Structure 1
């Protein structure tokens, strides 16, 4: 994690993360120190050949049409134990994680987390060098949501 030497960054149990390489900002992530790897909710996973995978990152749970198409190199495939205790084969990819002032290349497993509250889990390997304060959320600040401008009628005299 890039930052000042020996200075620990403290994050809350949930934070807003971005993936600048994929032009994705403000995905709410649950910080999960019990999980070794990180996981991202994606749909329409398709291996494209030449060691690459294509998938859709859903940006808004209620507005399913808001998504980003991503194609990335597969770093590995592995059997991962899911939250229900069952093992499943997953693709892993790498990208840059932006978390407040931190930028770090992390590995992410691609999975359907549609039924989960958080579309992103940040596991221990992504959290090396970071302290987690479980009593707080969003210690690095929440990305401001864009407010739609209210349209006022134009008065003509």
Structure 2
């Protein structure tokens, strides 16, 4: 009989890393009601890229995070699709794939790029990531992945 890998637990809030953007410890809300994850970006637009192929440009924005300086991001691969917002409306949004790190493991995740300035957290982690990483959510806990990384670093330093 085939054994399944154990599920890891995430808290209702997690500190996540985006290695490709050189951003560590970004606050994210874990939302089991959302299918697609979301990343706070402003000024998202298509522009002509090299060889005439369109690229997606925007600015990563989280004024509370020291590593998020409104830097310009550019994505050669992206799609547009309808995403249901928190108020139930379907909005046409750009979707990109990015690596998010949890429990020291990298996951390719689809993120819709949207202005989340009216939201408390700049990142929303949806069900597609939870399924992919075989995570369960304990709403009474926070930052479990980050705490595990700190403990692992302390163990490495002690040896």
Match of 2:139 among 134, 140, 147: 134
The gaps in structure 1 that reach 5 residues or longer are 145-157
Counterpart for residue 107 of structure 1? 110
The answer as to 2:97 corresponding to 1:94 is yes
TM-score, normalising length: structure 2 = 0.79
Q: Distance in 1 between matches of 2:16 and 2:146?
A: 10
1:68 aligns with 2:67: no
List aligned pairs for 1:1-157, cutoff 5 A.
6-49=5-48, 50-61=53-64, 66-128=69-131, 129-141=134-146
Where is the helix percentage greater, Structure 1 or Structure 2?
2
* Structure 1 segments of 4+ aligned residues over 4 angstroms from their partners: none
Gaps of 5+ in 2: 151-159
Under a length normalisation based on structure 1, what TM-score does the superposition of the two structures give? 0.80
Q: Secondary structure at the match of 1:134?
A: strand
Aligned length: 139
Cα offset for 1:74?
3.6
The 10-residue stretch of structure 1 (93-102 or 29-38) with the greater mean CA deviation from structure 2 = 93-102
